[in-house]
Structure 1
């Protein structure tokens, strides 16, 4: 029984070690080749680096502790897993709470919904689409070329029948009440009168394909909508990961209980 629990712990930690090395490699490559990485990719480099280091260190502790039956290391390993279990559970609950709102209202005769800041939690508004984070998010939107995926439409009527995601609706066209005239899906001109609605989003619109409405409040709302679905997906996935981590934690506790007092090298 002791041999089985230790071997399972070693096997699972070898897989964790490989994942950590993969994340470290990606983060280091991005840092060494800054010219070949976009700002969006650079933003994720540090989280990948720290996550990779954490997984490598945790895996090494688990492998050494299990292989040589060093209970002191396994206690540390199990303690970290317990903290992970609490953290994963807390994040899953938190993600479900802050993404509970966000419904959207159907706009008549148009293939998309009208989303407003009030449809989303105050926490998301304050901590996600604030001035400090928006430049990075905007860079990611430009790098992903989200607006190039919009199907071509010959006229305004056909365009409004096109299904647009909240992100495409908010970032790739001026708001409907601005009065801009349709030229093509990402090119709109001011009305002939020269007057547009006195709203910040109307003045933020640009026909520069790298600007469009990426700095509009409607674009931020589109990001919040995407983030809401993403976080809810993470919350569901977290419960699956939580079950996996609980299994590893149980195996490590079993290994500690069954280890002999004298450390003995394992034979793989």
Structure 2
């Protein structure tokens, strides 16, 4: 019983320490300026971090101090956290299982099409309530201005652009715009190739920020971020199962000892 009690205390102390940066990151994201680019993950991050912290405190105190009602709370919260992590991880993989950039011959970057991604992610960026702040952030971050170093078309075509730069700062390749510089293209040769051919603006503050390709570039970034979070959640999920199993064992042993003591009396 002593070994089990100390083991649970150590495991919960570790999970408590891990919960601090998780919760802190979520609060920091939530408190940022309203033009934050992508904030789809902050809610789940805060909830997960808070659950981990509360369950760790209850588990540490309940097992180490032998407070049975705290163990009850600990086991209940831990069970909910495991279910939450499982659901969130499955959901993350389900909405990110499709979509990728289209490789282009002779180009270092890719083109992105919104229709290639999950319907749920498409709805997120098509909503003006979500897209307007994202677009504002892209402008404020001067993401496209950083491409000004490419003065020659051949250098630009070999550049490895991010999905946001490729989707938002230039017109789709299918339109066959003529390269002037990295953020200024003119006279499309195939204007009917893509609806974004009409959406591209020569105004430097607009460019392709209202294009579906820009939204697709943002979705592609979200997709990669979610898959990273989901991969980490898998590790945390199995760790929590180990901690939860140890907590159940400790609670059962505590209950047996209490029943045994009553029998002697």
TM-score, length of structure 1 as denominator length: 0.75
Partner residue of 1:247? 242
Decide whether the 8 Å contact of 2:38 with 2:134 is kept in 1: no
Distance in structure 2 (CA, Å) of the matches to 1:62 and 1:212 = 54
Give unpaired runs (5+ residues) of structure 2. 260-265
The residue correspondences of 1:211-226 to structure 2 (distance < 5 A) are 211-226=206-221
Instruction: Summarize the Cα distance change of 1:150–1:245 in structure 2 as closer, same or farther, 3 Å threshold.
Output: farther
Higher alpha-carbon deviation: 224-233 or 20-29 = 20-29
2:208 match: secondary structure = coil
Confirm or deny that 1:116 pairs with 2:97: no
Partner residue of 1:265? none
Cα RMSD between the aligned structures? 3.6
Deviations 1:125-178 (A, max 9, x none): 123552222233334444555435548323223322323333221012123355
Partner residue of 1:266? none
Distance in structure 2 (CA, Å) of the matches to 1:82 and 1:24 = 19
Higher RCO (C-alpha 8 Å, min separation 6): 1
* Count of residues paired in the alignment: 255
Distance in structure 2 (CA, Å) of the matches to 1:96 and 1:16 = 24
Distance in structure 1 (CA, Å) of the matches to 2:136 and 2:250 = 48
Higher alpha-carbon deviation: 96-105 or 252-261 = 96-105
Partner residue of 1:163? 160
Deviation at 1:253, TM superposition (A): 0.9
Partner residue of 1:205? 201
Distance in structure 1 (CA, Å) of the matches to 2:167 and 2:47 = 33
Distance in structure 2 (CA, Å) of the matches to 1:104 and 1:37 = 30
TM-score, length of structure 2 as denominator length: 0.76
